[in-house]
């Protein structure tokens, strides 16, 4: 018997494809909706033959109607290269996508979860960042299309809940990595691994002293699913991320060692609005969801390196 009918927007992307797979494996019927802007068929190719999996080519900026029990709204390019490629489209995807999916949730009485981001904290003045921190975001910078789009989407989630009683959830996702990341989207983990496997110079911005926390994708899925499972008394936002901090330079050295690469580290100027520090305060997730990340950086890197080795061989 099918447990739930679940719509995943952005389901052919990095995180979305893992979520499709996991929710199918748990006995649900999964509808994967994607416009294939950054998502790829190969991410979900292994799911196509499953009769409980359906692929829908659609753009979330247009309304879509389907009878479902739950919606995970992930559609949005997530890496700066991709979201800056067409900044206006990025804002539209976040805001119109949220309006269309919230409208659908209202109509069919589905629970809906928004994949928000730590970028809503901007260049934070508070460290680590709790959910109560309002952020320090530049509204007119190069990253604003993404940051402000996601902030407005959170507002919409809150307002649809208060005004229309839609059952909403917001998770604020911190840096996540794993197999099926886009090989050249400029995200730090995939960048370093691809450069190391090809023995190319590894580019570090600034002096590499800026810190980041890296979460393995399986930990994120667990956090999202646990959030979705909560009742109406909890809607978030809740931080889902790994609080273990690493300097970017440390990550570069670790990747070089693990891939036994001959790459050298080269330094380039810091991009504008690049936050110096990012670390989640996960007390709320621990308390409310009984969730904390389990996968150590080396274990996650090992699986990610294996994926990229296969991809670029």
Which residues are part of the catalytic machinery?
Answer: 146
Sign (positive/negative) of CA torsion 121, 223, 74, 309?
positive
CB nearer to ligand NAD: give 41 or 268.
Answer: 41
Q: Is 77 in the site for ligand NAD (CB under 6 A)?
A: yes
CB nearer to ligand NAD: give 117 or 263.
Answer: 117
Cα 38 to Cα 29: distance, rounded to the nearest angstrom:
24
Contact 225, 271 (CB under 8 A): no
3-state SS string over 91-152? HHHHHHHHHHHHHHHHHHCCEEEEEEEHHHHECCCCCCECCCCCCECCCCCCCHHHHHHHHH
Q: Which stretch binds ligand NAD (CB under 6 A): 75-83, 245-253, 254-262, 269-277?
A: 75-83
Q: Indicate the SS3 state at residue 32.
A: strand
**Least distance in angstroms from the C-beta of 262 to ligand NAD:** 28
Of residues 29 through 58, those in contact with ligand NAD by CB under 6 A are 34-39
Q: Give me the residue label for tokens 């997730």.
A: 285
Q: Is 242 in the site for ligand NAD (CB under 6 A)?
A: no
Of residues 145 through 184, those in contact with ligand NAD by CB under 6 A are 173, 175-176, 182
**Least distance in angstroms from the C-beta of 296 to ligand NAD:** 18
CB nearer to ligand NAD: give 33 or 261.
Answer: 33
> For residue 104, which of 18, 14, 31 has the smallest C-alpha distance?
31
Find the binder of ligand NAD among 5, 6, 8, 16 (CB under 6 A). 16
CB nearer to ligand NAD: give 60 or 102.
Answer: 60
Number of residues that bind ligand NAD (CB under 6 A): 29
Q: How far is CA 175 from CA 25, 64, 181, 212, 215, in A?
A: 25, 29, 12, 8, 6
**Least distance in angstroms from the C-beta of 146 to ligand NAD:** 7
**Least distance in angstroms from the C-beta of 271 to ligand NAD:** 17
Instruction: Report DSSP letters for 191-240, one per residue.
Output: HHHHHHHTTPPEEEETTS--EEE-EEHHHHHHHHHHHHTS-TT----EEE
**Least distance in angstroms from the C-beta of 90 to ligand NAD:** 8
CB nearer to ligand NAD: give 16 or 261.
Answer: 16
Residues near 219 by beta carbon (within 8 Å), at least 6 away in sequence = 240, 242, 293, 294, 295
Q: Is 93 in the site for ligand NAD (CB under 6 A)?
A: yes
Find the binder of ligand NAD among 5, 8, 14, 249 (CB under 6 A). 14
Q: Is 301 in the site for ligand NAD (CB under 6 A)?
A: no
Cα–Cα–Cα angle for 169, 144, 194, nearest 5°? 85
DSSP 8-state class, residue 107: H
Q: Is 76 in the site for ligand NAD (CB under 6 A)?
A: yes
**Least distance in angstroms from the C-beta of 219 to ligand NAD:** 12
Q: Is 218 in the site for ligand NAD (CB under 6 A)?
A: no
Footprint of ligand NAD on this chain (CB under 6 A)? Answer: 9-10, 12-16, 34-39, 59-61, 74-78, 93, 97, 115, 117, 173, 175-176, 182
């Amino acid at each position: 018997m099918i447990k739930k009918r679940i719509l995943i927007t952005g389901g052919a992307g990095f995180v979305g494809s893992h979520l499709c797979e996991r929710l199918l494996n748990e006995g649900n019927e999964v509808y994967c909706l994607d416009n294939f802007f950054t998502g790829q068929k190969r991410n979900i190719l292994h799911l196509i033959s499953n009769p409980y999996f359906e692929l829908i080519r659609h753009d979330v900026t247009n309304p879509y109607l389907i009878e479902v029990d739950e919606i995970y709204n992930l559609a949005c390019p997530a890496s700066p290269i991709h979201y800056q490629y067409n900044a206006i489209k990025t804002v539209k995807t976040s805001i119109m996508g949220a309006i269309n999916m919230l409208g659908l949730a209202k109509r069919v009485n589905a629970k809906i979860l928004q994949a928000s981001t730590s970028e809503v904290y901007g260049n934070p003045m508070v460290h680590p960042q709790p959910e109560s921190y309002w952020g320090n975001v530049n509204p007119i910078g190069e990253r604003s299309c993404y940051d402000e789009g996601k902030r407005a989407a959170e507002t919409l989630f809150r307002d649809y809940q208060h005004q229309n009683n839609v059952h909403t959830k917001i998770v604020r996702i911190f840096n996540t990595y794993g197999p099926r990341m886009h090989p050249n989207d400029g995200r730090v983990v995939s960048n370093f691994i691809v450069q190391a496997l090809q023995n190319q110079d590894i580019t570090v911005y600034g002096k590499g002293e800026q810190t980041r926390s890296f979460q393995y994708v399986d930990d994120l899925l667990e956090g999202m699913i646990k959030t979705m499972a909560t009742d109406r008394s909890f809607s978030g936002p809740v931080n889902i991320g790994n609080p273990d901090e690493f300097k970017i330079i440390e990550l570069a050295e670790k990747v070089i060692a693990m891939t036994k690469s001959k790459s050298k580290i080269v330094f380039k100027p810091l991009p504008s609005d690049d936050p110096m520090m990012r670390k989640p305060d996960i007390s709320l997730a621990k308390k409310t969801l009984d969730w904390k990340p389990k996968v150590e950086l080396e274990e996650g890197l090992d699986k990610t390196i294996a994926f990229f080795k296969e991809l670029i061989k």
